[in-house]
Structure 1
């Protein structure tokens, strides 16, 4: 360890150099000496640097990239390079720090190289300073991160514009928990019709968050009287997660409209079958869901343009074209309580996974959707068949080399003709079309619909989440984490009705109570690439149960679980830096089962952080 004294404004700052051994690998040599600008009261600053190579923006750009991608090498070589890059990055993230949550700026212009592969992490102590406050900080540069300890109670010059270097005080574990739970909600479905409860939570990475979600229960009129509520088993229940990109307006439109549009299409289909004294066929129900998706996307993409041209108003264009110019994936779950049938409609790369108890007492994970991206061979084959002879229809795993999902709402630049795009750009505003645009549309909002029969008496549950969760956890880890949470709840609530029911549905043991799983998933599903980025290996012992809301429980464990320091680090980062390490996160978990039949849906206060959200009105 080497120590130097550095002059600072109005006071003297001691800067102690320390290194950190690489976790899961050989030690790295790295030191950092800086002169920091302090105000009176700043006693000392200890800095640590945890990366020997610059960090670039996330290797996982969510949707249309900002810059032209460089020519990639062969897939195998690229995968190896990525893996090495992620391990370098992991050193930055696992170095945990705690603090308070405000931006601080610093100036640094000196750096030296140390020899040797072993470094001490012992700090220099001064008994006279035992009572001086110590604040742990994260130094965020344009291309690298450092951690450090600031000793003193004086302020530091603030800088939060993303330029040069910024120092961010780390969140404490308590503050991290508050941030995790800020947007959680839980509801008890006391209708006795196959659903016990559902939990939801969101965590932003972008500002504003580009994700959205919706939940609704629709009472279906009895076929005998035509009045809602006659039949005890005629609820339609909907849950949806919407992963926006290039803005938030498309996902907001889906939250407002998608469930209503699909419910009306289903109602029309059921009425037509009822006139014939029958029930709709499964194919007719699937077709109704698809028709609802396509109807809304046509309104977003094409009807909006017609209104803009008719009004000839830039103000109207600004209001109407927002959802068309941005985009959003959509994942919708539709549960018909009368038939115990669950349908999932997927447009894009959000994912639905069913948890079901096996004969062994553990849980099995069954994906109910397929990630629809340019890396999915099924989607690639579909796209090439629809656009024969166009070599760049899928380029580097993206539509025309730009957009990752092959199905999405909005994204009109991949759906409008070149003539419409040029006219909009000339008269109003619009994103330019791709130079490779030949035979649009290249992207569709038509979903892939899957059907599953639910067994409420066995405690089936469904997890719906945007792709940010699946970048961090496998299907089996998610289902096992919910199973572990159920196990914990049953132990704590063995005397309650819910706890008594769940206590019969698991077998105790170490690790996660889930069967199988190699982390790869079926063809077309993304692997949890963030685990590689952070240098983690699959290990069920790294997880923890601390939250009453199971959706919050999943996100906590996705960010680090027992590694409280990593959780704090990832939650401390703010936009635009946070996007390098995690995406927006939206998670819904639905528990199936036969509860009390009071006809009510009530806020579950125990698993909902105040202020309590309003229950959405029925259609």
Structure 2
């Protein structure tokens, strides 16, 4: 049984559509394939998140990013040609449509303020300049072009940092800090995340017959990122429930074990059971309730998480064993950063992307559905869904009979004509186990695939290493800083990363967005360190780093246009290290205000 005392701190949201529209057709570069027998657990720390309204339609990825500076002399024609007009109140006529264009002379252009704008088209982005101070109309012409005012670097930084959070973990249990950030591309964001710390009592038997049992505790720490698609409701359900389902299964497994710590395979099975039982609730139990209630209102509420979908990446750290388990359903990725004897950082993937482009997943699917030629078609399940494992996505799991009844009596989507032997998609994760070395300053990056479309595993680990070495810590008394300084000292030079066996991307190629944007992956001085939050630091460098123009352009793009160039992003970075448990009154999990953007951070506690 769980007795839970909850301190809600907070979470976030997002989506990325993984149906047929997911793979970009690139104008540049190649086409992508696209302990305890007695457990009264105390829930110490978690994030929770507000619900958001359904998102906008998804736009196929069919663009290359192509920047071109346009001379001021072209500004007038550009604005007219692409359907945005400057508004001048002195010229307006009440009741008349405002369709004024403007012309510039060199004299006027020298005197009037200018603004940089972005022209969004089907195949390219163009940068232009307009003159004057009036507001811009966000009008679209028949050819689909739109013009929006470019964010300044300061505005872009504010947008990057809007949802950043950082926490010191002063519990003396091997974790010292974690940072996270989200950046939406879909509106609303379809990503989500969750974090919890559960205190687990540990009873140590006496060493001699006259001695007394010692009661101490260890921590179970969970971090999860959930990459939604076709809507935000499945990932929101995972944020609310997945950690609880997994913790419940782990608790039962530990209590039932004849040994102090259950066998590794039993722990892995418990994690898998938590995943699959929650998915069964989402996909099948919801249908039973809908048929029983026979109400369209009930159907609308209960079937949303089944009809949309989500990948899930959940890490579980047992502070007593110092083992980190990573459970992966879908194509989010976890990567370990560890410092080698050479002083460089080594990147090790702790999960494998589960898509129709993964040969082992393709082999599994073909074995489970013999004789079905199109079980994987164009790198997708039945030609439609990119991840081969996911929560929700019920149209790949329901029988034709169930899908037909739902569509006839309530609503639903038509199954693929290729659907013969469902289910084709499973929520069962692949679980890996890694021994963490807190004394060496290990860290782990968890991120949805939007990050890995932009950066390689080595780049991500090297960027965190670079960030570590350039930080001037703002809280020299924190346990995080004390543990850090023991390992790293006070060096300030950037850290290189070893180029090991880890390939550039899952398929060994340059990340797909780097190809799409036409970036030189080997360019010198491509990366910068400007952020106190390391997750924000990763996202900034994923979007262009030192290239402010590109960062501003990518952050300026409105939804749904932005989806052509970048996905939703959710990034978590967990730092391991040995620190003492704090005894001050501020608590053992505290907000790191230097790396957290919030109007009132106290509202989280």
Taking the TM superposition and a 5 Å limit, the aligned residue runs for 1:370-381 are: 370-381=352-363
TM score, norm. by length of structure 1: 0.78
| Counterpart residue number, 1:64 | 19
5 Å matches for 1:203-242? 203-223=183-203, 233-242=217-226
Alpha carbons 1:193, 1:232 under 8 Å: kept: no
Cα distance change, pair 90–514 in 1 and its aligned pair in 2 (3 A): same
Once the two structures are superposed, what CA deviation does each residue of 1:216-259 show, in whole Å capped at 9, x if it has no partner? Answer: 0001123359xxxx855511000000000000000000000000
**Which residue of structure 1 aligns with residue 416 of structure 2?**
434
CA deviation after TM superposition for structure 1 residue 129, in Å? 4.5
Q: Report 1:498-537 matches (<5 A).
A: 498-499=480-481, 501-502=483-484, 504-505=487-488, 513-517=496-500, 520-521=503-504, 527-537=510-520
Taking structure 1 as reference, are residues 306 and 362 closer, same or farther at Cα in structure 2, changes over 3 Å only? same
Which residue of the other structure, out of 541, 560, 571, is the alignment partner of 1:557? 541
Which deviates the most, 138-147 or 196-205? 138-147
Aligned with residue 237 of structure 2, among 253, 259, 267:
253
Distance 1:384 1:129 in 2: 64
After superposition, the Cα gap between the structure-2 partners of 1:510 and 1:196, relative to the gap in structure 1 and judged at 3 Å, is closer
CA distance in 2, matches of 1:326, 1:202: 20
**CA pair 602-428 structure 1, distance change in 2 beyond 3 A:** same
Counterparts in 2 of 1:357 and 1:186: CA distance versus 1, 3 Å: same
SS in 1 for 2:168: strand
User: What secondary structure sits across from 1:321 in the alignment?
Assistant: helix
8 Å contact kept, 2:470–2:493: no
Q: 1:106 to 1:538 in 2, by over 3 A?
A: closer
Aligned partners of 2:481 and 2:194: how far apart in 1? 27
Cross-structure match for 1:445: 427
Q: Give how far 1:541 is off.
A: 2.3
Structure 1 pair 485/151, CA: closer, same or farther in 2 (3 Å)?
A: same
- Which of 568, 591, 598 is residue 610 of structure 1 equivalent to? 598
**1:312 partnered with 2:285:** no
Q: 1:269 to 1:311 in 2, by over 3 A?
A: same
Shift, 1:570, TM fit: 0.2
TM-superposed CA distance for 1:505, in Å, is 2.8
How do 1:6-17 and structure 2 match up within 5 A?
none
- With over 3 angstroms needed to count, the CA separation of the structure-2 counterparts of 1:82 and 1:375, relative to structure 1, is closer
Q: Give the gaps of 5 or more residues in structure 1.
A: 1-60, 73-77, 98-104, 111-123
Match of 1:566 among 546, 550, 555: 550
Q: Distance in 1 between matches of 2:578 and 2:535?
A: 21
User: How far off is 1:476 after superposition?
Assistant: 0.2
State the alpha-carbon separation in 1 of the partners of residues 533 and 263 from structure 2.
37
Q: 1:470 touches 1:526 (CA, 8 Å); kept in 2?
A: no
Q: Distance in 2 between matches of 1:66 and 1:497?
A: 47
CA contact (8 A) 1:356 1:365 kept: yes
- State the distance in 1 between where 2:502 and 2:515 align: 12
Aligned residue pair count? 522
1:19 maps to what in 2?
none
Residues 178 and 572, structure 2, Cα contact 8 Å, conserved in 1: yes
Shift of 1:158: 3.8
- The residue that corresponds to 1:385 in the other structure is 367
Q: How much does 1:501 deviate? A: 4.6
CA contact (8 A) 2:220 2:318 kept: yes
Deviation at 1:566, TM superposition (A): 0.4
Contact conserved, 2:349 with 2:502, CA < 8 A, in 1? no
The Cα of 1:149 is off from its aligned counterpart by 0.5
Partner in structure 1 of residue 341 of structure 2: 359
Q: Distance in 2 between matches of 1:614 and 1:256?
A: 22
Secondary structure of residue in 2 paired with 1:406: coil
Describe the shift of the 1:493–1:537 C-alpha distance in structure 2 as closer, same or farther (beyond 3 A).
Answer: farther
Does the aligned pair in 2 maintain the 1:473–1:528 contact within 8 Å? yes
Counterpart-to-counterpart distance in 2, 1:457 and 1:366: 18
- CA drift of 1:126 comes to 3.6
Q: Does the C-alpha gap of structure 1 residues 474 and 87 become closer, same or farther in structure 2, counting only changes over 3 Å?
A: farther
Query: TM-score if structure 2 supplies the norm length?
Result: 0.80
- Report deviation, 1:108: 1.8
SS in 2 for 1:442: coil
Correspondence 1:169 to 2:157: no
Aligned residues of 1:133 and 1:152 also touching (Cα < 8 A): yes
Kept in 1: contact 2:201–2:216 (CA 8 A): no
- Shift in CA distance, 191/96, structure 1 to aligned 2, threshold 3 Å: farther
* 1:495-535 superposed Cα distances (whole Å, 9 cap, x missing partner): 97655654543896976521015873586677511111111
Contact 2:62 2:122 in 1 (8 A): no
Q: Distance in 2 between matches of 1:257 and 1:88?
A: 37
Looking at structure 2, the residues matched to 268 and 161 of structure 1 have their Cα atoms a distance apart, in angstroms, of 61
Contact 1:392–1:400, Cα closer than 8 Å, also in 2? yes
Aligned to 2:66: 91
8 Å CA contact 1:361–1:507 kept in 2: the answer is no
Give, in whole Å, the separation in 2 of the partners of 1:261 and 1:525. Answer: 35
SS of corresponding position for 1:420: helix
Is the contact between residue 326 and residue 350 of structure 2 (CA under 8 Å) also seen in structure 1?
yes
Q: Bigger shift: 171-180 or 154-163?
A: 154-163
